[in-house]
Structure 1
Amino acid sequence: MDEILGLDAVGQAQAVRDGRVSPRELAEAAIAKIVKHDGEIGAVVHRRFERALAEADALPGGTPFRGVPILLKDLGWVEKGEPYNAGSRTLDGVRIAADAYSVAKLKAAGFVILGRTSTPEFGTTITTEPVAFGPTRNPYDPGYSAGGSSGGSAAAVAAGMVAVASASDGGGSIRIPASLCGLVGLKPTKGRTSYGPSGGEGWSGFSVAGLVSRTVRDTAAVLDLIAGLEEGDPYTAPALPRPLADEVGAEPGRLRVGFVTRHPRGDVPEHEELTAAVTAAATLLESLGHKVEPGHPDELGNPDFPQHFGALVAANVAAEVQSVGAWRGRPVSLDELEPRNRAMAETGAQRTAVEHILAVQWMDGFRRRMAAWWRSGFDVLVAPSLGVPPFPLGWLPPDDLSTGFGRTAHAVSYTSAFNATGQPSISLPLHRTAAGLPVGVQLVAATGREDLLVRLAAQIETARPFEHPAMR
């Protein structure tokens, strides 16, 4: 059974179709893995094992992922009848009234949902250490962070509990934990996946739902399932020419690739491990026949970006705190929040509607100026997935906000810009530190070009297969 549980989701689904394992047996094996290891890892905050086994027994045939276990991030990804915390005790006792559209699609495809994974409070930081549930530990070294905000999902997949888990990304929250846990993490194009029925967009359009997985083909196949415009969505991503699963193994052609190892803003320290990771990736891409050269959008170095991005995020946090109060039937007092979110909610609440709209308009210009680099003839940008090396738990001191916000700004320096532009980007596990900790490399394509990223990522995976030694 360990052999089958070690397969990716596409492989597990095939094992079920071939009769090598039943949906119940596969779910029981994944549950046993969670029970055995999650006490150390701290990835799963809500378990629904009995319900999952009953659903596994009742699954109809003919669905593409019949019987494959999955975990849902406890931020968004809501499921009818299940608890929901978003990493915060302010939501204790809340039960969900309806499935998110993406959750309904996963169920229709035959996935068996085993529970919900940990996230920092309201998903606002790069490490999963919520006061409400305690830290999520990196399976490669339990003293290190699994990243955030999809840290619980990434740790669960890296530890072999499930082959794939849901995630979301508003400033790097798929790519950063994928980098730290040695996984594939694709942030789709803005609007590729729906936030319905409970919402239209996340963080003023910065956030998008996706997943973390061990293989490119899993990422492609599951994104195919959850993508698509739903009634009432405010916008959608450009249509893809064909399913992303069909892009796996397709020839990407000779691409023009730019790469960057020193952030052009000038205030982000360069790190040896990140430089080594990007340089090795550039060398690999050159060996695969691509035209590779140093280069990046000049606008990536705009010194005004962090303040506008931070202001919009803070306004969204303030709005979320008010929404939580309405949802639970009584206002949230600031002293119920972790210090980071208390500060962000206070700052966001002080901004006027005019200031908010001006920040949105600034981002409109930023998006167009960034896009000019891809229009100039480049196909892909290669950059670090995380602006700092792997870091230990406690690296962001909760009561020293100046240090915490400063370190976070460095960490998201290569990811948040592409939340603002809405472009697709993918983190691939292409480097390890001397201590064996993963370091991801990010590939960024033009808006709507997940197809190109999947082709290129699959080519890289074939040339240098990803290893997952943290699985046990």
Structure 2
Amino acid sequence: MIRLSRRAFAGAPLALAACATVPERAFRPTPGWPDATETAAMIRRGEITAGQAVRSAIDRTLALQPRLNFLVASDFDRALARAATGPGDGPFAGVPFLVKDLDDYRGLPTRSGSFSQLPLPPAQGQGPLIDAFERAGVVVIGKSATPEYGFLPTTEPAAFGPTRNPWDPTRSSGGSSGGAAAAVAAGAVPFAHASDGGGSIRIPASCCGLFGLKPSRGRMVGAREQTKISDLSVDHVLTRSVRDSAAMFALTEDAGEGAQHPPVGLVTAPLRRRLRVGLVMEGMAGKAPSPEVRAATEASARLLESLGHTVVPTRWPTGPEFTQDFLLLWASGAAQLAGAIGKAAGRQPDTTLLEPFSLGMAEMFAKAPPGALGQAMERLHAAAMAYDPWFVGNGLDVVMSPVLSAPPPPLGWVGPGVPFDTLVERLTEYVGYTTYHNVTGAPAMSVPLNWIGAGLPVGTQFAARVGHEALLFQLAYQLEAAQPWAGRLPPVRAL
């Protein structure tokens, strides 16, 4: 996940006023395994205190951290103090939470999974989205792990070690929000902050059996100035239930005057109409998914049809050059980063500062022919402009696809230590379904509908036109009710 531009804007109060309660539908928590909505309700009913909820989350984190390694900075004392003095009256008051370590959280260092950032002091400020999370009432107990600067779809930073998947600790939890995903899936916290610049919400959601929605570009608080194709990254949360995601979305979307998109508000009801759904099976580079992923995606298509929707085959409205163009844009971010780190260090960056993959990406960009990035951006713009006509021309409401070409891979398979050319080849095939939505700025979600024979989750991706998050939430509620996943718990868990 690259933050090529991210500027602040204040504006969550309207959303907070519009969301006095959180939805109670569709999701039914497994006993002893409450989601954030139920945790907040338990606190409001007086069944537990905010302090007990936070203390329990800390205990679960301490028990799980040695096995999963999802936490890179703890803030336990401040969290307990905030819970004791009162976390406010937001809908999620007292619910424990993690902030992803690509974002500043006041009082904790921001290390971005990199050796280059280890000497930094604690952040003195934080962005408006983090402020909005806190106004919603959450109590931050620490920061979750991320790969170096969010570049990879697995969370295995050399600076902190690999985050392990609760469904199988020998496998990847995904990335770049892999620390958040592992923590939520294992029950350390009921939900956690995540961000997505190329799939970094949807990929770990798929790997860890969670619900993960990537909002439209410019949708959330603090993202009003994100208007360009190069503004790839958006923020939201990873959750076990759709209602948690929908409620936090309503609390943190930009609902102020001048917002890019009309506010969605709080979505609580499942879909009430039939959809025409396009099914894409091959990745953007024309690669087919693994047999297990194909079977899982076909099963999801049959589920949709059983609910009365029409599923029709379709193809991406752009060519295989998209993948290489996106990779060059990604590499330009790495080059900018390497240049800034080198300047700050007073020397050329090497593996004491950045991982081999980050350095390799910077070198790839440096070796690109003059004008290559500009040409790539022109093609990416054309690809983005083809998105809406694709839906309209085929009469599509939603497009579904795999999230990834394969189930969660073994740790190390797409890790930063893999030789650069080999890793790029693997990434081109593995991450072939999520990047298009970051370029178009469209919303997309991973829904945990299938588990393969080895007990590993495989998410299905659904995407809509820009600004149509309400449709995705409604569909997600319908799917959650039709094929519930709340009772599926990983082998490595807190309870």
* Partner amino acid, structure 2, of 1:220: A
Is 2:440 the partner of 1:421? yes
Tell me the equivalent position of 2:238.
Answer: 212
How far does residue 226 in structure 1 lie from its aligned partner after superposition? 1.9
1:60/1:264 Cα in 2 relative to 1: closer, same or farther (>3 Å)?
closer
Q: Which amino acid aligns with 2:406?
A: V
Amino acid at match of 1:164: F
Cα deviation code 1:172-201 (max 9, x no counterpart) = 11111100100001011111125569x968
* 1:117 corresponds to 2:133: no
User: Normalised by the size of structure 1, how large is the TM-score?
Assistant: 0.92
Residue of structure 2 in register with 1:150 after alignment: 177
Q: Mean alpha-carbon deviation: is it higher for 43-52 or for 343-352?
A: 343-352
State the match for 2:388 in structure 1: 371
Task: Select which of 249, 262, 268 maps to 1:239.
Answer: 262
- Which residue in the other structure is 1:262 paired with? 282
Note the 1:162-311 alignment, pairs <5 A.
162-194=189-221, 204-228=230-254, 237-240=260-263, 242-243=264-265, 245=266, 247-263=267-283, 265-266=285-286, 268-299=287-318, 302-311=319-328
Instruction: Pick which of 33-42 and 4-13 moved more.
Output: 4-13
Give the Cα–Cα distance (whole angstroms) in 2 for the partners of residues 108 and 349 of structure 1. Answer: 43
Q: Which amino acid aligns with 1:222?
A: M
- Paired positions, count: 459
Counterpart of 1:159 (choices 186, 191, 216) is 186
* Residue aligned with 1:454, SS: helix
1:93 aligns with 2:111: no
Unpaired segments ≥5 residues, structure 2: 1-28
Matched, 1:107 2:130: no
Deviation at 1:93, TM superposition (A): 2.6
CA separation of 1:18 and 1:331: change in aligned 2, threshold 3 A: farther
Note if contact 2:101-2:144 (Cα within 8 Å) is conserved in structure 1. Answer: yes
Fraction of identical pairs, as percent: 39
Alpha carbons of 1:6 and 1:167: their partners in 2 closer, same or farther (altered >3 Å)? same
Distance 1:60 1:419, change over 3 A: closer
For 1:232-283, what per-residue CA distance to the aligned partner results, in whole angstroms no more than 9, with x for missing partners? xxx964213x41x3x23243411111112234743x1331111111111111
Q: Counterpart of 1:133 in 2: which secondary structure?
A: coil
Aligned counterparts of 1:148 and 1:345: Cα–Cα separation in 2: 20
Counterpart of 2:230 in 1: which secondary structure? Answer: helix
Amino acid of the residue matched to residue 390 of structure 1? P
Match of 2:73 among 46, 62, 66: 46
Aligned residue among 42, 59, 68 for 1:15: 42
Is 2:329 aligned against 1:312?
yes
For residues 385-420 of structure 1, the C-alpha deviation after alignment (integer angstroms, 9 at most, x for no partner) is 112222111112514112211111112111111111
2:3 is aligned to none
User: Bigger shift: 88-97 or 449-458?
Assistant: 88-97
2 CA distance for matches of 1:221 and 1:332?
A: 46
5+ residue gaps, structure 1: none
- The match for 1:403 among 422, 436, 443 is 422
Deviation at residue 350 of structure 1 after TM alignment: 5.0
How much does 1:332 deviate? 6.1
The DSSP-based 3-state class of the residue aligned with 1:407 is: helix
Q: Which residue of 1 aligns with 2:168?
A: 141
Structure 2: which amino acid aligns with 1:32?
A: D
Alpha-carbon spacing, 1:440–1:316, altered in 2? closer, same or farther (3 Å) = same
What is the CA-CA distance between 1:357 and the residue it aligns to? 3.4
Superposed, 1:319-398 pairs within 5 Å as 319-324=336-341, 330=346, 333-335=349-351, 336-349=353-366, 354-376=371-393, 377-396=395-414, 398=417
Indicate the SS of the match to 1:105: helix
Instruction: Say what the alpha-carbon RMSD is for the aligned residues.
Output: 2.4
1:34 has 2:61 as partner: yes
Counterpart contact for 2:407–2:456, Cα < 8 Å? no
Q: Distance in 2 between matches of 1:307 and 1:229?
A: 36
Q: CA 1:54–1:186 in 2, change beyond 3 Å: closer, same or farther?
A: same
Letter in 2 for 1:333: P
Q: Which amino acid aligns with 2:59?
A: A
Aligned-residue offset at 1:346: 2.2
What is aligned with 1:434? 453
1:371-390 superposed Cα distances (whole Å, 9 cap, x missing partner): 21111210011100112222
Q: Deviations over 1:104-149 (max 9, x none)?
A: 1111111000000111111101111110000000001111110111
Distance (Å, rounded) in 2 between the aligned partners of 1:60 and 1:433 = 41
SS of 1:345's equivalent? helix
| Kept in 2: contact 1:170–1:202 (CA 8 A) | no
Query: Aligned to 1:239, what secondary structure does the other structure show?
Result: coil
The answer on whether the counterparts of 1:90 and 1:332 sit within 8 Å (CA) in structure 2 is no
